[in-house]
A and B are shown apart, each in its own frame.
Chain A
Amino acid sequence: MPTVNLEIQKKGTMSKAKEKSAKKRVAEEDDDQFPIFDKDIAEKENLEDEDDLSDSDESVFSGLEDSGSDSEEDGEGDEDGDDEDEDCAIISDEILKNDTVAETSAKPTATVKNTSKHQDEKLESAGKKNIKKGKGIVMEDGGEKGLTTTFQGLTTTLPADEYDQDTSDEEDVRNTVGNIPMEWYQDYPHIGYDLDGKKIFKPIRNKDELDEFLDKMENPDYWRTVHDKTTASDIRLSDEQVDLVHRLQKGQFGDASFNEYEPSVDFFTNEVMIHPVTNRPQDKRSFIPSLIEKQKVSKMVHAIKMGWIKPRKPKETTPQYYDLWAKEDPNAILGRHKMHVPAPKMRLPGHEESYNPPPEYLLTEEERLAWEQQDPEDRKLPFLPQKHSCLRAVPAFSRFIHERFERCLDLYLCPRQRKMRVNVNPEDLIPKLPKPKDLQPFPTTMSLVYRGHTSLVRSISASPTGQWLVSGSDDCTVRFWEVNTGRCLKTLEVGGAVKGVAWNPNPAVCLVAVCFESTVLLLNPALGDRLVVGATDQLITSYEPPEEDKEQAVTWALSEGPEHDKGHRLTLTHPKGVKQVVWHGKGDYLSSVMPDNTSNLQVLIHQVSKRRTQNPFRKNKGLVQCVSFHPLRPYFFVATQRCVRVYNLIKQELTKKLTANCKWISSMAIHPGGDNLICGSYDCRLAWFDLDLSTKPYKMLRHHKKALRGVAYHKHYPLFASGADDGSVIVCHGMVYNDLLQNPLIVPVKVLRGHQITHDLGVLDVTFHPTQPWVFSSGADATIRLFT
């Protein structure tokens, strides 16, 4: 087989040589043609570039030639190859000289390895390209000399005899100036040198444009005349040459006798040849064992014998285990381990994870649907409980690998934090308070219900003796009740819904203030001691009007006739609607509230004995909710929406401003000691102020569920009560100590219920019995209730 190889090799080189020559041809021809071709256009640089390129190409080729022909070839073959190479070179030169149109525009390509076939194809394509140009030339343009000149070579040497006389000596060379741009000789009279070194002079050309034109017109062979640059002469193409040009233009082979469709001989077939391609006998060295190899082998054998070379051990793949904790030292724990938070173990499965769980753990249809609609993160159970009748029916759990993977992720990605979970016993959170039992007395049960009113009872007030109770309602009546029996002693119709009632706290006077619309009515109910009643009437009638009549904010009118019989004594007509009336502790002064956001006329203080009225405030400091007199000192409390102002009436100045941390104060009560104050608010809070302590609430109680409407202190007992819209009255023990250092003790002692909630209103007013630990409450259900 080596011979065959050789042959192939040779073939290879042959083809290579051919191809290379073709390349060279292309390249050189370029050198030749370009300058002529674009004589006017091309610049010198460009030319040089082209030169360079061709050079480099050549070098590449030569290099390849060497590499192709060295190595494995015999001497003989080498020689052959060389010879042939040379031949090729020569041939190519010739071709170059007598070049064809075909290659004119073929550009030097960088591809090195091309088979002969390839080359053919290229030629063909080049020819095709030229067809267009050629037409242009032939038909009309004589100016394109570049193309026409190329035909010249064809006249001298024809491809037929080219190979017959195969020497360069016999070549008919007229101009031996060499391969240089012909424009270098432009300015000279000669165009080059012949073999003897004599100048070849340019033919005398006296043809000008006109001659040229005439020639074109008259000469029938003009179309087949080309200009040879090297000799600067015109050549007339023979018929064969014209034929060749035509053929090339058509894209046919130049050689008319060339058969394009020869049967192809497949050199490298899959069929195994039984005979060698060459008859060359095998080399001797192919029979004789190699000496060098023998030496190498013997060296290795020696090394193995001496134990220098050992066979490679197969790598241990199975891990080796040993007693890792043989010398365990529990103290040698790294510092890092102090911060170590061990991963929590997996949660252990419950009954619902069983393959056969009790029936109550299975999800119902709705639960299952809800489970499916939930996000996987929100689900309480990460799986659906299922029941299988026997073990063989249990399928594989599809999310097994997922769950294990999630565990892995948790182990290395989840941030860990040590959380101290304090186990609080909820009982410990409840404050330890004295037992309500120990704080008795306080009202515990509802004992009486005073029925009679037909609409909500806005206000109630107890007489200072504790025997009577007065109530004002939205049904425009004021009713007087006997506390102990629940009997309604008197009913008085007034001209509007009663907003507030207040019994004069002075036991020596029997007078009740009632406010409705813009009127404050002072009534003498004529209940109780005759003497007191009489004294009261006398007190009112004994009034003597002063000399100079001062203009007052309200008009005082004395009631007479049937009204007097009904009990009306004095009528104070206010400019605006009155919401609340309040007596001073002594019973001579009376204050009325006319809530109004726009004027300073909101609060008026009346003196009954002198029938005098004054407006204490010059400025409007917000909507006044309620007012109150200090039980002992000349202080006056005014509650606006969010704060309570305390005024000194003698000094006529603001002494304190208490901010209740609530949105809207509804009611207010002053501790009989005068140092404490409670405020109920519509946002369910009750604030206890200790006036000596701070202007902020000492305690906020949020024990009502709805808006507070009324608050009250007991006169003697440490009790206070609050009524709210949730229908409950909460009674608290509020002990105030004489010791200033001890804070008041507040303990809720009883939640009293009884009032029905009507129109979202529950308890509207609460008040304590003046002597007993009893509390009255009036509600929106038109009843008054007594809790004892």
Chain B
Amino acid sequence: MGGLQKKKYERGSATNYITRNKARKKLQLSLADFRRLCILKGIYPHEPKHKKKVNKGSTAPRTFYLLKDIRFLLHEPIVRKFREYKVFVRKLRKAYGKAEWTGVERLRDNKPGYKLDHIIKERYPTFVDALRDIDDALSMCFLFSTFARTGKCHVQTITLCRRLSVEWMNYIIASRSLKKVFLSIKGIYYQAEVLGQVITWLVPYQFAHDHPTDVDYRVMATFTEMYTTLLGFVNFRLYQTLNLVYPPKVSQSLSQPWVKHILNKLSALSASLARVVATAEEEENQMDQFPTEGDQENLEAREKEQKEQEAHKRLFEGLKFFLNREVPRESLAFILRCFGAEVSWDQSLCIGGTYDVTDESITHQIVDRPNMDKQYINRYYIQPQWVFDTVNAKMLLPVEDYFIGVTLPPHLSPFVEEKDGDYVPPEKLKLMALQRGEKPDDDDDDDDDEEEEEEEDDDDGDDDELTEERNLKKMENQRAQGKTLAVKVTPGKVRPWETGSVGNRVRLEQEEKAEEKRLAIMMMKKKEKYLYDKIMFGKKRTVREANKLTAKRKAHEDASKAEKKAKKQ
């Protein structure tokens, strides 16, 4: 046999992957630079299918990159910029050491920088790709915009993040694309649908952060650098699609002429934006009628859905809100304006408030305090959760549950979609009934009573046997007393499973089928049996969890009921 000897690990998957250190050596970069490059270019390690083969027989834990990815990085112009920056730092240090201040100044002026435009274009070849990946960018920008200017990162970054996030919110308001909101313990989740892409982002509550020490802010800053670039371009494009001017301008001048800074005006979220073509105010995009015959129902369904969406967009239209000082102004103003409400707030809180508390036409005032001294009769005083729940329910919920000082109903996550078998909280069931247009049952107390009655009935049903026994005992006792007794033969009850009724047959059939299945399971192959057992285990677990939640709920309700009764007495 001729030919060269085949060597191990010189072909196949071993050659497709490269370890991190080798990649770093190939690129001649320090680890920090390599990481930064990976973050910016979106290069991530891959988990090979056969790790041992790729690792050349070793089982040591290593991270592998695709060799193609690393080759692709070789030609990245940013790598050169990194090296230039390194040289710059070295020169600067030297100038400092020699106390050459003019030199330092000169170097500072010529500090090398880089742009990420081409990387964004490369990572997201189409605009939709960029939109698909914008979740993290938004969350990060919103987080950074809440940072204090204390040196955790550059002030420019913070202001830029703030600007971009405000622009994004203004776009969402202008396009009215907000769909869901959720008050979690972490922050406020928003979900919007932009150009068909569902985008979710999380905004922390407005508090000062206590910065953890075990977080590498350089990594975060690098991500932010990339994300701000991405978000800027996305904002530009989005504004263009709505015919809005970018960078945004406020259309009508605000009442406060002294507010010079456009960002402040924008962040008030109260003004509409300037358009490129002023006339194109509102276009009703009617759906075209396609002459399709087969999908008539489908089409109707779609039309209905469209209508629902339109209605959702105009949820708060015609309502006039006033925000008290203690409620989170930005998020509420954002949400309310997204659904077409008029919002105002106290002048001392922020600029951009258009009317005062004394305005008679205010329909809702959002309050988050135990009581109010001066109340107007012609408006509802409600807690902020009403706004969130209403948006999620896609309909104006009754305000009674959300009045001042009232114990709020639980706030449910709009992101949970229950499959059959999952636990559905009773509040959700009630809400679904409301959405279907069913009248909610009367007061809770009535509900409870009914339930109690039902329970009693149930008890009766269960206790049939018991009563029978009791009767028998009574009879026996009477007989024991030795008195003359009118012996009576009562007709016995026929139990359903003893007769050949329909139910019995059905049950028998079911049993048969179950046994058949059991027997068939016995004949399964070992491998399949394992898989089957695993699947069934998972199913059982979900059922168990659902049962647990139900039991907990029941226990809670029983406890609260008992408490109520105790109070009554």
A interface vs B, CB < 8 Å?
A: 312, 315, 317-319, 321-325, 328-330, 332-337, 339, 341-343, 345-346, 348-351, 353-361, 364, 383, 385-386, 388-392, 394-398, 400-405, 407-409, 411-417, 424, 426, 429-433, 435-437, 701-703, 730, 746-751
Contact = CB atoms under 8 A, between A and B. Distances in A.
Contacts of A383: 185-186
Contact of A351 (B208, B223, B416): B416
B397 to A, nearest CB: 15
Contact of A412 (B44, B228, B416, B526): B44
B413 A349 contact: yes
B182 interface: yes
B183 A355 contact: yes
Contacts of B411: 354-357
Given A335-B68, A350-B413, A433-B523, A328 B125 contact: yes
Q: Interface SS of chain A: helix, strand, loop or mixed? A: loop
B130 A325 contact: yes
B125 A408 contact: no
Given A397-B187, A412-B35, A436 B553 contact: no
B7 interface: no
Interface string B486-512: 000000000000000000000000001
Contacts of A400: 143, 186-187, 204, 209
Contacts of B184: 349, 353-355
B532 A328 contact: no
A431 B109 contact: no
B510 to A, nearest CB: 14
Given A349-B182, A350-B416, A354-B412, A394 B516 contact: no
Given A323-B240, A416-B44, A430-B532, A356 B69 contact: no
B474 interface: no
Interface of B: 35, 38-39, 43-47, 49, 63-64, 66, 68-69, 72, 109, 115, 117, 120-122, 124-127, 130, 132-133, 135-136, 139-140, 143, 156, 160, 182-187, 189, 200, 202, 204-205, 207-212, 214-216, 219-220, 223, 228-229, 232-233, 235-237, 240, 246, 326-328, 368-369, 383-385, 407-408, 410-413, 415-416, 425-427, 512, 515-526, 528, 531-532, 535-536, 539, 549-550, 552-553, 556
Nearest to B405: A390
Contacts of B63: 413, 415
A321 B233 contact: yes
Contacts of A746: 523
B186 to A, nearest CB: 4
A417 B44 contact: no
A396 B125 contact: no
B415 A355 contact: no
B415 A703 contact: no
A405 B215 contact: yes
B229 A319 contact: yes
B368 A392 contact: yes
Contacts of A335: 68
Contacts of A417: 46-47, 49
Contact of A415 (B44, B132, B525): B44
A537 B188 CA distance: 99
B385 A391 contact: yes
A389 B185 contact: no
B531 to A, nearest CB: 6
Contacts of B140: 404, 408
A436 B520 CA distance: 10
Nearest to B416: A350
Nearest to A335: B68
B517 A430 contact: yes
Contacts of B369: 392
Nearest to B240: A323
A322 B237 CA distance: 8
13 contacts: A319-B160, A325-B121, A334-B125, A342-B133, A346-B202, A348-B416, A354-B182, A358-B427, A383-B185, A409-B219, A411-B39, A431-B520, A435-B516
A60 B202 CA distance: 73
A358 B532 contact: no
A358 B412 contact: yes
A413 B45 contact: yes
Nearest to A313: B109
Given A360-B552, A408-B220, A348 B383 contact: no
Contacts of A751: 515, 518-519
Contacts of B64: 415
**6 tightest Cβ-Cβ pairs between the two chains A and B:** A396-B207, A417-B47, A348-B415, A703-B522, A415-B45, A360-B553
B410 A430 contact: no
Given A385-B185, A397-B205, 14 more contacts: A317-B156, A324-B121, A324-B233, A333-B125, A348-B189, A348-B413, A356-B385, A358-B426, A391-B328, A391-B383, A402-B214, A404-B139, A405-B215, A426-B539
A355 B125 contact: no
A273 B140 CA distance: 63
A749 B133 CA distance: 56
Nearest to A318: B160
A51 B137 CA distance: 77
A341 B46 CA distance: 9
A401 B186 contact: no
Contacts of B200: 345-346, 348
Nearest to A748: B519
A391 B183 contact: yes
B528 A429 contact: yes
A301 B425 CA distance: 82
A633 B160 CA distance: 96
Contacts of B220: 404-405, 408
* Residue of A321, A328, A359 most packed against chain B (CB within 10 A): A321
A355 B185 contact: yes
B215 A358 contact: no
B25 to A, nearest CB: 19
Q: Which of A336, A432, A435 has the most CB of B within 10 A?
A: A336
B60 to A, nearest CB: 14
Contacts of B122: 334
Given A383-B186, A401-B215, A396 B246 contact: no
B553 A359 contact: yes
Nearest to B16: A339
A698 to B, nearest CB: 13
A431 B526 CA distance: 12
Contacts of B187: 397, 400
User: Which among B208, B219, B407 has the highest number of chain A CB atoms within 10 Å?
Assistant: B219
Nearest to A699: B523
A402 B212 contact: yes
A426 B535 contact: yes
B47 A416 contact: yes
Contacts of A426: 532, 535-536, 539
Contacts of B556: 359-360
A19 to B, nearest CB: 29
Most B CB atoms within 10 A — which of A339, A408, A431, A751? Answer: A408
A394 B205 contact: yes
B523 A346 contact: no
Contacts of B45: 413-416
Contacts of A415: 44-47, 63-64
Nearest to B142: A404
Contacts of A391: 183, 327-328, 368, 383-385
A392 B200 CA distance: 24
Given A354-B182, A396-B209, A412 B39 contact: yes
Given A411-B136, A412-B39, A360 B44 contact: no
A747 B215 contact: no
Contacts of B211: 401
B501 to A, nearest CB: 21
Contacts of A404: 139-140, 143, 220
Nearest to B246: A321
B117 to A, nearest CB: 6
A179 B314 CA distance: 112
A746 B140 CA distance: 63
